[in-house]
């Protein structure tokens, strides 16, 4: 048996954990003052442009393509773990629509929090962090890969991206696959039982 340590596979989303550190510690040391009023205005424009771009991608581009494939997506089902931690089963259409709404909700929450911190406490770092990490999140989003870049390798349910390089070194126990497997087994047993009951009544 090999004792070699498995190296984590690099993906773009791993960078998001280091971006806040870069904004807070590196930029001031290279002469970029995020508290400068001129830079603050620039950051507001970038922040606003990112929010509008993300909203356009999710609610216009992706949602439009989901609707165009509605008949096809409605005919297929996916089993996944919902936000409550329970097993759910729904059509591809409902699942993708739910994922779009979750992405938009997360977008508004990050915008609300960053905006509040900026205007109440006059802290500008969030205006720089959110657009950069947000663009990375867009590029690594399964929805964007599937509907914008036409990536045929994406499967449902979507796997959650690692949020940072450090997190990829720690194996957090995830029993979602076990729950889904048990759910499928139970459904299979129910179908077999129904088939058996039907044959007995004939």
As given in the structure block, the two tokens for residue 83 are 């936000």
Give the distance, in angstroms, between the CA of residue 66 and the centroid of all CA atoms in the same chain.
Answer: 17
CB 148 within 8 A of CB 89: no
CB 131 within 8 A of CB 44: no
What pLDDT, in 10s, does the model give residues 140-196?
A: 999 999 999 999 999 999 986 554 444 444 444 457 777 788 777 877 777 677 666
CB 144 within 8 A of CB 38: no
- Which residues, 6+ apart, have CB-to-CB distance to 200 below 8 Å? none
**pTM, two decimal places:** 0.78
Q: At 77, phi and psi to the nearest 5? A: -120, 155
Give the distance, in angstroms, between the CA of residue 169 and the centroid of all CA atoms in the same chain.
Answer: 20
Q: Residue 78's beta-bridge partner residues? A: 90
As given in the structure block, the two tokens for residue 100 are 């779009």
> Parallel, antiparallel, or unpaired: how do β-strands 77-81 and 87-91 relate?
antiparallel
Return d(Cα 85, Cα 76) in angstroms, integer: 22
What pLDDT, in 10s, does the model give residues 104-142?
A: 999 999 999 999 999 999 888 889 889 988 998 999 999
What pLDDT, in 10s, does the model give residues 44-75?
A: 999 999 999 999 999 999 999 999 999 999 99
Which pLDDT band holds residue 11 (cuts at 50, 70, 90)? low
């Amino acid at each position: 048996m090999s004792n070699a340590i498995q190296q984590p596979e690099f993906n773009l989303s791993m960078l998001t954990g280091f971006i806040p550190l870069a904004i807070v510690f590196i930029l001031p040391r290279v002469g970029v003052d995020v508290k400068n009023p001129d830079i603050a205005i620039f950051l507001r424009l970038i922040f606003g442009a990112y929010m509008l771009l993300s909203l356009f991608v999710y609610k216009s581009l992706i949602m439009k393509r989901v609707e165009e494939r509605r008949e096809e997506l409605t005919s297929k089902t996916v089993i996944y773990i919902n936000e409550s931690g329970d097993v759910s089963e729904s059509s591809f259409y409902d699942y993708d629509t739910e994922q779009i709404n979750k992405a938009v909700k997360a977008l508004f929450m990050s915008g609300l929090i960053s905006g509040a911190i900026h205007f109440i406490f006059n802290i500008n770092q969030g205006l720089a962090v959110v657009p950069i990490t947000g663009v990375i999140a867009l590029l690594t989003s399964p929805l964007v890969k599937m509907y914008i870049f036409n990536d045929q390798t994406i499967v449902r349910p979507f796997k959650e991206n690692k949020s940072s390089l450090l997190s990829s070194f720690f194996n957090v126990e995830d029993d979602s696959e076990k729950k889904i497997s048990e759910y499928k087994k139970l459904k299979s047993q129910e179908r077999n039982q129904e088939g058996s009951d039907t044959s007995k009544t004939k």
